[in-house]
Amino acid sequence: MGTHDQASRTLATDPAGWRFDNSYARLPEVFFSRLRPVPVREPRMVLLNRPLAEFLGLNGEILSVQDGAAVFSGNRLPVGAEPIAQAYGGHQFGYFTMLGDGRAILLGEQITPRGERFDIQFKGSGQTPYSRRGDGRAALGPMLREYIISEAMHALGVPTTRALAVVTTGEPVVRETELAGAILTRVASSHIRVGTFEYLAARDAAEHVRTLAAYTLRRHYPELEPSDNPPLALLRAVMERQAALVAKWMLVGFVHGVMNTDNMALSGETIDYGPCAFMDAYDPATVFSSIDQQGRYAYGNQSRIAQWNLARFAETLAPVLDESREKAVDLANEVLESFPDVYRDHWLTGMRAKLGMITSEEDDAALVQDLLTHMHRNRLDYTNTLRDLAADHPERLPLFQDQAFAEWLKRWQARLKRQPESSGAMPSVRERMRAANPAVIPRNHRVEEALKAAVDHGDLRVTHRLLDVLAQPYAEPIDSDYRLPPPPSAGAYKTFCGT
């Protein structure tokens, strides 16, 4: 990520270490609205991500006290902040609407000690011009949920926005019941979305689309700025990052749950952890979101939806890809049609790593698919099955005693024997597999346990224990219960949007 004009600017700082250089706020004002967060009654710190604060160049000691709660609630703006609500549109479950930050405010862009640039955004900070009759607020449970899951994704090695802090506001929010209000501070490489381009295209503002495309290239893909056709280079780069991102989701069993185009960040990071969850028993049709009645965003549909979203992005770029509409469509389609192969390459490479394969053979895809079919047929836990394959003698585990699975094990073990192994120059097969297969994920029942303790009883100890375990997902947890799927009595798990 480039510093984006940082060298020509003197950055204001304050004692907490904020160093803002707000390049997005220097774009045309059609892109956003300027406003301050709505003050809250009694902000209190709930969680502060000290390692992330240190990475950003912030002083965790100062931010951990009441002064930090005032900042993370929006009651006090740090030096250099230029709060804005971003405008964007989006296809929600296939239907386009004009949107925008209805309960979020971009505080500014923090420049880290390494010269990297990150958005600092409040979520739940009050009404904006885009609130559409909403209250602009958020409840504690969903904000803690985003904190837990986004930090777990980061530890798993999945590109993601991250959580810097959660504060309570001292004010209730009303959903089905009255809930404790809270604000999440989110950190992202940027909040530029497919929906941001859709917003401008819907206003028939090709010059602004061109401006945003140039800005996005400069901020996220500076090496592509000299391209013969920069907007086309941007489309291809975003396609490649999205293919890699969704493959990583699939590899860890993550179901985003609401892959609307306003939730596709052009930086290639996972954004917006509303109805998301992790799959237990392997099933491509897995859906957790209570509002996804047709399974549009099911686990097995995620790559197809990513390609659909990219097509909407390509449509916004068409006027600036080429003067000829026909030529522009041909250029865009060439990129879009390559998505399935790019995605499959990323996914298959990841599955090879999970199965200890360091070479490539023609039948690898069939071997992987046969494993998944067996897991689906027998409702085997996705994460634990793959992790257990990394045991020293998986054939001795009860899980693998099924005759059909025993045959698969023989094929897989024969496959491993055909590849070269260098004694001492590279990790053993089992070590490689354990490095590619997490022992723990944010099990849905564990996340709910933490949220219930925090929200209902004000007890954050369960959350802290869970965060500690999730911070090292590839290590065997001291408490093996964190590896267990939910008991059969738990029933079907449902997630809900936090608005």
Q: Which residues are catalytic?
A: 262
CA separation for the pair 494, 258 (Å, rounded): 13
Encoding tokens for residue 198?
């859709």
What region, left, alpha or beta, does residue 20 occupy, with left being phi > 0 and alpha being psi -120 to 50 degrees?
Answer: beta
Q: Which residues of 48-82 are buried (b: 16+ CB within 10 A; e: fewer)?
A: bbeebbebbbbebeebeeeebbbbbbbbebbebbb
Encoding tokens for residue 246?
């969704």
CA separation for the pair 161, 269 (Å, rounded): 6
- The residue length of the chain stands at 499
Nearest 10 degrees: CA dihedral of 30, 31, 32, 33? -10
Encoding tokens for residue 74?
């929006």
The identity of residue 475, as a single letter, is: A
CA separation for the pair 291, 126 (Å, rounded): 24
Nearest CA among 186, 148, 182, 179 for reference residue 463: 148
Q: Which residues make beta-bridge pairs with 123?
A: 104, 184
Asked whether 275 and 496 are in contact (CB, 8 A), the reply is yes
Asked whether 58 and 16 are in contact (CB, 8 A), the reply is yes
Nearest CA among 479, 397, 469, 399 for reference residue 440: 469
How many Cβ atoms from other residues are within 10 Å of residue 241's Cβ? 18
Nearest CA among 187, 194, 239 for reference residue 56: 187
